[in-house]
Each structure stands twice: as C-alpha cells, then as structure tokens.
Amino acid sequence: MKITTLAMALVAACFAPTRAAAAETTQVKVIASFHDRQSTKLIIESRQPLVSGRPVYIGPERITASLGDLLSRSDPAYYYGAVIAGKKDIPSGAEVFLDGPAGELPATLLNNPKVLSFKLNERYTFDQKRLGEVTAVQGGRAMIDRGTMHEVQERDLYRVYDSSSRYKGMLEIHGMGDFQSSGRLYNRLEDFNHRAAWAVPGDRVEFVGQRKLFALGVVGAVRNGRQKILNRNEEAFGAGLLWNVTFQDGWGAEALFGVYSRGGSAEMTSGTFPNQVYEKNEVDAKFILPIWFKKNFFYPSTVSPFLAVGASFLRATNSYQAISSTSVSDEEKKIFTVVPVLGGGIEFFPGRFFRPRIEIRYFKAPALRAGASTLYMESVFYGAGVATSW
C-alpha cells in the first residue's frame, strides 16, 4: 500500500553481533530497494549524517542516485531515502560511494545532525505486515523485520514456520520500532509437534490476528425446555451485556451483566362442586450475573471453540396455593445462593474486531418445593451473541 510517511522494511537487527564489524568496512550501504513506477527507490544506511538532495553513487557501476530526506535515526546509524531514475536491480548491502566519477560533485558530509530535516516528501510502497522473517532470537524472545511502518501493533500474533513450512509456535508482539518488532515466543496449549523453543533467524512468520484484550457485546438465549406450571408452560429467556478479557494463549474471563430467567404463573380449577379445588402456582428463578473463566482453543483461528466454568447468583421463588371447600394450603419458598455454571461454544474471528458466537450454558441448581409444586431450576440455555473487540 502507499502512504506519505515512510519506506519499506529495513532490518535493524539490534542484537546481531555482526553489524558493528560490517560498519567498520562499509560506512554507507543500501539495505533495501524496490521499483516504484519508472524509478527505483532505496533505503540507505549511513554511519554519518549526509546532506539531502546531493547525488550518491551506488555499487561498483557508480549508478547515480539522488539522496532524499532522513527517514529515521537509530544510534549510531542514519537511514535515508534515495531514488534512481529507471528500474535498476540493486542488491541489499550494495556499497554507496559519496564521490562519483571524475567531474562529479561529492555528497558532502554534515557535521551537525541536529539541523537535519525529518520531513518525508517521497511516497513509498512497502510490504504489509502479513508476512515477515525472524531476524534475531534471544531466549524466549524473537525479533522480526516488521514494525510500525508496516502497521504492526502491540499484541499482534504471528505463527512461526521454518524453511520447510513446519509450524513451530506463536510469537506475540510487545515491543515495536519503525522497521522491526520484538515479542515473546510460546506454544499454544493445544498445539502438537510444536518447536517454538528452536526458532532461529530466517524462520518465516505469518500474521494471524491480534490478541484483543477487551471485548464488549450482547448475548441472547433461550432454554432448551420448559417445565409445566399447572396447566401451562413457564417462560424462559436470557439476555445481557457481555464483558470479555482475553489473556495469552486464548485464556480469558467473562462477565455477563444480565439475567437468565425462567418463571411464570398459572391457575387451575379441578373437580366438581362441592369437591372443587382451586390451585394457583407462581414460580420465578433468575440466574444473575454469571461469571466464568474460559479457554479458547486454536486461538486466534477463524473458528475457535471454547470451554468455560464459573458461577452465578441464583434468586428463586416458588409460591403454591390450593383452596378447597374443606382446606386451604398456602406455601411460599425463596432461595438466594451461588450456583456453578458450565458452558462452551464457538467464537468466530476471535482475533478480529467483530466476534460473533454461539454458546451453551448449564446452570446447576437445587429443586425448590412448595406445597404440591416443585420448581426444578437446573437449566440449560442456548445462546448467540456478538462482541466488538479492541
């Protein structure tokens, strides 16, 4: 893609021991080149500040290039853009000469880098962040040749592959520079034959999503069955505002600010006069603010099943009344307690901004008896929802 800020990726392998030695033999060199329309654009690394707008000479053929503005500075190196008229194949590492053929004016050195302009007047085309390469490994951390100029963001997730496309593990980005980023290597719990501990420079990385730390959404649910309340079925539904936090490797926690409810009322008259019996039953059970811990498997794959376990508040009432010509029975039972919740489901696009889901929740609860009525509160709800993540 094209932007008005900066060029394609340059690799600044900050903990590679060979850079210092190379700088002693080559003070100015090409580190990246690419074609743009009918010109060739370069990224040049120099150990000394240069004057923009002057010619420099590339490679043994002394191809003339016009030196552009300072792009970035990473002590002790300075990075400049440059352009050559026409399409040229310039290898990475090509030496840049400041003095040209006889009669050419040398590119003057600048002794005071503080007056350098940081404005970027050129338009550059550079690779997107989707594919990259491991440039350095140190312990459980690795560096790749993609940075903020490729729109890399914190918590971006990359799969690591070797040269034969064998999967090694995951890399989660935590530190970002202009042209490079570093992060932590790890193996997902459900991965098999993973070898992230053996990641080496040159391994290929592929962007697969971002660990979205927070998500906010809505969920609605219905119950799989409804109990009889005298001569009619109870009503059941669930709804709420979902708040999600996702940790590394797909572990997370969720709270649903809402309720899963079942209840209703019914009246019935049976028998004949004078042995008629009038019955009235009112039941109400609400599972309030369910909270659970969950594990998304194969996170952040497009389709990510999850399992969860947690708890919920339960408030329930069972009221039963029976009136006949000879007796009156009136009883009400209430309960307020905490009950366990188990669940699972499938999330779609868990590493993206838009996260639909389908789920199932099982609430384990005791029965509540009042008179001749028993409220069986153990419940299964099927739900669907959507969340937005960031």
Q: What CATH code is carried by the domain that includes residue 121? A: 2.40.30
What pLDDT is attached to residue 23? Answer: 37
Question: For strand 124-125 and strand 2-3, is the pairing parallel, antiparallel, or unpaired?
Answer: antiparallel
**366 Cβ neighbours under 8 A, 6+ residues apart:** 335, 377
Which CATH number belongs to the domain containing residue 146 in this structure?
2.40.10.340
Query: Which pLDDT score is estimated for 194?
Result: 66
Same domain, 285 and 362: yes
Q: Which residues are 245's β-sheet partners?
A: 214, 253
Rounded to two decimals, what is the model's pTM?
A: 0.66
Choose one of 150, 181, 210: the last residue of a domain: 210
Q: Which helix (H) or strand (E) holds 22?
A: helix 18-25
CA distance linking residue 145 with residue 182, whole number of Å: 9
DSSP state of 103: T
Domain match, 327 and 382 both:
yes
Handedness of CA 264, 269, 271, 276 (dihedral sign): positive
Q: Which of 257, 245, 190, 218 is nearest to 359 (CA)?
A: 218
Q: Yes or no: say if 130 and 151 are a contact pair by the CB < 8 Å rule.
A: no
**Domain limits for position 43:** 2-125
Domain of residue 240, CATH code? 2.40.160.20
Q: What is the DSSP-derived secondary structure letter of residue 104?
A: P
Residues 168 and 260 in one domain: no
CA–CA dist 19, 94 (Å, integer)? 15
pLDDT of residue 366: 93
CB 158 within 8 A of CB 206: yes
- Tokens 């050195």, residue located: 109
| Residue 291: closest CA among 238, 246, 254 | 254
241 shares its domain with 374: yes
Closest CA to 130 of 141, 146, 117, 143: 146
CA-CA distance, 13 to 15, in Å (whole number)?
A: 6
Q: What is the pLDDT of residues 224-280, one digit of tens each?
A: 888 888 888 899 999 999 999 999 989 999 999 999 999 999 998 887 777 788 999
Residues 243 and 376 in one domain: yes
The domain boundary residue, chosen from 210, 230, 251: 210
Counting as low any pLDDT under 70, the low residues of the chain are 1-26, 100-128, 193-197
Mark which of 79, 97, 125 sits at the end of a domain. 125
Residue 265 and residue 234: Cα distance in Å, rounded? 7
Pair (8, 41) in one structural domain: yes
Q: Are residues 302 and 370 in the same domain?
A: yes
* Interacting residues of 103 by C-beta distance below 8 A, sequence separation 6+: none
40 token code pair: 């060739």
Number of CB atoms found within 10 A of residue 55's CB: 15
pLDDT for residue 127: 54
Residues 298, 206 share a domain: no
The domain tally of the chain equals 3
23: enclosing H helix or E strand: helix 18-25
Residue 99: CA atoms inside 13 Å, Cβ hemisphere, count?
Answer: 2
Residue type (1 letter), 226: R
- Do 35 and 86 form a contact (C-beta atoms < 8 A)? no
Q: Is residue 86 domain-shared with residue 145, that is, in the same domain? A: no
Map residue 113 onto helix, strand or coil.
helix
Give the pLDDT confidence score for residue 17 in this predicted structure.
39
Q: What is the pLDDT of residue 179?
A: 81
pLDDT of residue 106: 52
Same domain, 350 and 377: yes
Residues 253 and 379 in one domain: yes
156 within 8 A of 210, measured Cβ to Cβ: yes
Q: Report angle CA 253, 257, 262 to the nearest 5 degrees.
A: 115
- For residue 379, what are the β-bridge partners? 363
Q: What are phi and psi of 367, to 5 degrees?
A: -80, 150
pLDDT at 104: 53
| 301-321: burial string, b at 16+ Cβ within 10 Å, e else | beebebebebbbebebbbbbb
Q: How far apart are CA 308 and CA 110, in angstroms?
A: 63
What's the pLDDT tens digit per position in 110-152?
444 433 333 333 444 445 688 889 988 988 899 998 888 788 9
Residues 298 and 335 in one domain: yes
- Separation of alpha carbons 20 and 22, rounded Å: 5
